[in-house]
Structure 1
Amino acid sequence: MAFKIVVSQKAETYQMEVEDAKALNGLVIGDEFDGSIVGLDGYTLKITGGSDKNGFTMKKDVPGTRRIKSLLTGGTGYHPKADGVKRRKTVRGNTIADDIVQINTVVTEAGSKSIADILGAGEEEEE
């Protein structure tokens, strides 16, 4: 199963696909992991969210890998247009499993090379 990893570093965001990321299964939103798992040697990444194969977002306060319908007033998964509006929306739990296709991360510790250099080297060879 391929994961899309979205890495944010200050104002820049990079997206990469990782074929085998079984080491990420079982991690929870807020956990940190070594960037070498996804090809970013020397980096430490923190999981901030993600979405599953049907587009439902992961929510930090829903434990496990399950999908639930929750009454939301705002925040992750629902942004009301007026104050006081509630809506029942489906959200995914906070644990990464095989159903997750996109994982959002932020850089907590940077490596010696920039992410653009690491990812840019592969793009120049393809062209």
Structure 2
Amino acid sequence: MPKFKVVVSDKDGKSYQLEVETSALIGKKIGDIIDGSIIGLEGYKLKITGGSDKCGFPMRPDIPGTGVKRVLLSKGPGYRPKEKGIRKRKSVRGNTISEDIVQVNTKIVEYGEKPITELIGQG
């Protein structure tokens, strides 16, 4: 079963990192809303906002599939130009989660009854 580091961002600017071993995330895309009980957050709904693979290539929402592609970028994710108008060819990953993805970024869309710090064992 694949391991993922799931980063959960809160609306107040805090983020929490959870290590999860599940295959329920495979096949999900950027923008999909998942149930928080998959990663141990009962009652929460999470929206997938991005991620990166084992080589560090970021996921992009505009590239379909799970593979790595070299695309010409003018802005992020995956490239931040120093000057206006600069473009560069960079390797990025598609928008679908596969076994090669290591980190999955999410944000909370719907809150549960218990606070998130109580569910993950912090504070």
- TM class, shorter-chain normalised? over 0.9
Deviation at 1:106, TM superposition (A): 0.3
The equivalent position to 2:16 in structure 1, one of 9, 14, 17, is: 14
Find the aligned partners of 1:74 and 1:37 in 2 and give their Cα distance. Answer: 32
1:107 aligns with 2:112: no
Q: CA RMSD in A?
A: 1.1
Matched, 1:45 2:13: no
* Match runs of 1:1-127 below 5 Å: 1-10=2-11, 11-19=13-21, 21-120=22-121
How many positions carry a matched residue from both structures? 121
Deviation of the 1:120 alpha carbon: 2.0
Instruction: Report the more deviating stretch, 51-60 or 111-120.
Output: 111-120
Percent of aligned pairs sharing the same letter: 56
CA–CA separation in structure 1 for the residues paired with 2:110 and 2:116? 12
Greater than 6 Å deviation, 4+ residue runs = none
| Structure 2: 5+ residue stretches without partners | none
Q: Point out where structure 1 has 5 or more consecutive residues left out of the alignment.
A: none
Q: Distance in 2 between matches of 1:115 and 1:102?
A: 19
Separation (CA, whole Å) in 1 of partners of 2:31 and 2:75: 20
Partners of 2:103 and 2:34 lie apart in 1 by 16
Deviations 1:68-108 (A, max 9, x none): 00000112100001001111000000000000000000000
What is the TM-score of this pair, normalised by structure 1?
A: 0.92
Residue 4 (structure 1) shift: 0.1
Q: Which structure is higher in helix share?
A: 1
Q: Secondary structure at the match of 1:64?
A: coil
SS at match of 2:9: strand
